[in-house]
Amino acid sequence: MKAVVYDRYGPPDVLRIEDVERPVPKEDEVLVRVHATTVNRLDVHTREANRSNGAAVSMLSRLVSGIRGPRRRILGTEFAGEVEAVGAAVREFAVGDRVYGNTGLAFGAHAEFLCMRESARIAHMPAGASFEEAAPVSDGAFNALWCLRSAELRKGQRILIYGASGAIGTAGVQLARYFEADVTAVCSTKNLELVRSLGADRAIDYTKEDFTQNGETYDVIFDAVGKHSFDRSKGSLEPNGFYVPTDGFRNLWLTLWTSRSRGKKVRFQLPPRYAKQDLVLFKELIEAGKFKAVIDRTCPMEDVVEATKYVETQQKTGNVVLTVSRA
């Protein structure tokens, strides 16, 4: 089968298409013919061994992915496709089923085929969704769901989402709306209309207004692109409010530190515990018209280097999808 492989950490050009052996499903595994996948931030950070995040994070990244070079040659976590074969013990899926999911740190989705245990993060696709629409649901959206849960977001609470136009942010706006919170989205001028259309009650253009100076306060400040900080957010938090980041080592310490005292808290948990059940939740939300992954662009797998370079600009709106084989 064809797959995007890499043998050393480095810039996007280390990626190339190669013929590799097609995986064979074990007894409890499903073989999926991948139709669509994504290039997300986990892919780009893993490929460069998190060098852009400093030496300590890079060392941790190598401990997870391989000290000298990548243990797993194929990146890609999110996927949507069709079941091609099943192991003898598989009960939930049958050949021909349309499925979607997330391989997590096992990666392997930038390929024509992948194998997954049926108990892992794989579920039937939302009815009516295309492969391209289903693939980008299980990274940014899972991340956002995890963050909003950790902030214990409730109906009627006020949440500000900083970086509302990225993969996590666009999902965060829709989920906060689903939780019936009052949503303020912060993004640049070009994305104001988008975040309003996703359900934000109001949108702030950070190129024109600093939300920390407008006197408003929030129960939750969700920093969805890692561009803000607890220190800068504190003054805009309610006395028992939560600052929820998606990034930053320092936030781990702040989470521990603030958990010991009363008042404003940081909630940042690693690793996020995504569940198979969450795929079922998103299937229901998508079928009910309450969630849709925002897609910036869709490219063929052959264009993975260009797609990766684009993701690295940190300017994508929502998600970048790769199509793998003709649906």
Binding site for ligand NAP (CB under 6 A): 40-42, 45, 140, 143, 163, 165-169, 187-188, 191, 206, 224-227, 246-247, 314-317
**Cis link prior to 271 (omega < 30° from 0)?**
yes
Give me the least distance between CB of 238 and ligand NAP, in Å please: 22
Task: Give the CB-nearest residue to ligand NAP.
Answer: 166
Give me the least distance between CB of 211 and ligand NAP, in Å please: 11
Nearer to ligand NAP, 36 or 147 (CB): 147
d(CA 42, CA 107): 10
Give me the least distance between CB of 148 and ligand NAP, in Å please: 14
Query: Encoding tokens for residue 141?
Result: 């959206």
Nearer to ligand NAP, 30 or 295 (CB): 295
Give me the least distance between CB of 170 and ligand NAP, in Å please: 8
Query: Encoding tokens for residue 97?
Result: 């089923």
**Continuous segment of H or E residues that includes residue 116:** strand 113-117
Nearer to ligand NAP, 113 or 211 (CB): 211
Query: Encoding tokens for residue 44?
Result: 């780009």
Radius of gyration of the chain (CA): 20
Nearer to ligand NAP, 53 or 217 (CB): 53
d(CA 298, CA 162): 25
Nearer to ligand NAP, 19 or 205 (CB): 205
Give me the least distance between CB of 316 and ligand NAP, in Å please: 5
Nearer to ligand NAP, 102 or 157 (CB): 102
Give me the least distance between CB of 231 and ligand NAP, in Å please: 16
**What single string gives the DSSP state of each residue in 165-231?**
TBHHHHHHHHHHHHTT-EEEEEE-GGGHHHHHHTT-SEEEETTT--GGGS---EEEEEETTS-S-HH
User: How many Cβ atoms sit within 10 Å of the Cβ of residue 203?
Assistant: 23
